[in-house]
Structure formats: C-alpha cells, structure tokens
Amino acid sequence: MNRVAYQGTAGAYSHLACTRVFPEWEHVACEDFLGALDLVSGGFAERAMIPLENSTAGRVEEIYRLIPRTQLYVTAEHFEPVNHCLLALPGVAMTDLEFVRSHPQALAQCHQRLINLGLTPQAAVDTAMSARALADNQDRRSGAIASELAAELYGLNILHDNFQDVMGNTTRFLVFSREEEHKEYNPENNYLTSLLFSVRNIPAALYKALGGFATNGVNMIKLESYMDGGTMEASHFHLDIYGHPAETPVANALEELAYFAREVRLLGSYPMHHYRNNAAFV
C-alpha cells in the first residue's frame, strides 16, 4: 500500500488533509516536518503532506528552511478549511464543561466562543493530542478543540461544529514526492510553478531577477524570503507563479531569472487547486 507522511498526531489537520487527498493510502504520523520529508527521501513513503501557510496564522517558517535541504519535488497543492470542533466525552453536556484544552493557536481562534461560554482555556501541544488526552484521562469537566477526524478516532462527541470565531480559516498544503510530475503541459489545466532562487546582496539584484516576469506577463502570486543558515552574502527566496515552464512566457521569464539570479531550482509545476476559483484569488 502507498504511504503519505505528515507531521502531528493522528487526527491532526494534516492527517485530515491526507484523508481528503489520499483516502485509500496509509497515513503515517511523524514527530516533525523533517521526519515526514525524510520518509519520502528514504523511500518509505511515496508522498509527504506539508502545511506551508495558513490564512490566519501566516506562513510556516520552518518549512522554508527545510525545503532547500531536500531533493524532493512539489507535485500538488491542497487547501484544507480549518473547522474547529468543541469535543467532549460521550454523555457530557456543554453545561458540564469547565476547561477546554487545545493548541494555543486553536484556542486563540476560538477565544470569543470560550469567553461566551465561560470556559477556561488550557494550552496543549496540538489539537489532536488534546483530543487523545481527553479520551485517555476521561475528565468529564474538560473538553478539547480539534478536528472532526479526531472526534471519530478517539470516540468523542462533537458538542459544537465550526467553533472558531471567524469562518474561512484555511491551510495551504504542498505535496512532496521523490519524482517530478506534470512535466508535460496539458492546456486543459491551469498550473502553478514553485521554485527557489538566491541573489547576491547587491543593489537592485532582486528587481533585476524578477523583471522578466513582468515583461513576459507572468503573474507572481507568492514571494517569500528566508535565511538558509549559511553566510549572509546571499538572499534566498521561494517563488510561486502562474503557469507552466512549457508555456513560452514562463520559459522566457525563467531564462531571465537564471541570468540575474543564482542557484535557481524548480520545485515543480502542478495543477492549480480548485479552491483558487474562490473570489478571494481573483
């Protein structure tokens, strides 16, 4: 059976994303992101499901430092809406609860709901681990904020679905593989291309490196800078653009980038996720 690796405890939102994209595969939990990527590099897993950014919390900075250290390719993106659920033991009512445990970020995203119900938040390592701990300790005064998958896995009841204060919180994941996919351009698909590059710390270096995308009409949708842990002589960037290298404007823009930049590395081209049809991306 094929395997997909993810960081976190069973029932975490990364696990939920795996069940959406790879429902028939084995889902392998890892303690950290590097462990998940290493399982793919070593051949134990075929894919890794890694969160890159969240619409509320922003980018997952650690990932930008890890990607350059691997030789993996990006083969897909996935957007997973974050639906926080207030969970409790079977037979426990909302009025029985006094405390709620979860990851600090989840508690913050449900802050007003907790205040309205008079519940005391308690920070934990992650959402799914909070659900598992509740099932283990059988504390009928406590609830947990976690996913619907965590409720199913640990035999908990969902007291309140969509418990977050603001709707629309979404995490973008990238899927990593040992082999590059989508080398051939299919005109029926809309593509994204992800790449890494660096420029020397000299005046207008970034401006010159990116100028070809403007002159060739290629839309840049994400540009992130990061430190690679080496010297301070070069600035490193992660770039997402619309299009496929087989398209002439993209090919010309990448050629200009290679001229002005250094260490350009294509992470992969992949079909755009249907979530991008949302008006927020127009």
N residues, the chain:
282
Contact 218, 281 (CB under 8 A): no
The two three-digit tokens of residue 64, written as one number: 């930008």
Residue 26: beta bridge partners?
A: 3
Of 9, 75, 127, 171, which is the active-site residue? 171
**In the annotation, is 22 catalytic?**
no
Nearest 10 degrees: Cα torsion 37, 48, 59, 57: -120
Residue among 245, 246, 250, 244 nearest 271 (CA): 244
Residue whose entry in the numeric block shows the structure tokens 């890694």: 50
Q: How is residue 51 annotated by DSSP? A: E
| Residues 239/67, Cβ–Cβ less than 8 Å | no
- The SS3 of residue 101 is strand
Phi-psi region of 55 (alpha: psi -120 to 50; beta: other; left: phi over 0): alpha
204 SS3 class: coil
Q: Of these residues, 33, 163, 173, 197, which one is catalytic?
A: 173
How far is the C-alpha of 165 from the C-alpha of 55, rounded, in Å? Answer: 14
Q: Which residue has the tokens 């974050």?
A: 82
Is 260 known to be catalytic?
no
How far CA 219 is from CA of 147, 208, 213, 223, in Å, comes to 35, 16, 7, 11
Token pair belonging to 1 = 């059976």
The residue with tokens 């997909």 is 4
Q: Which residues are catalytic?
A: 171, 173
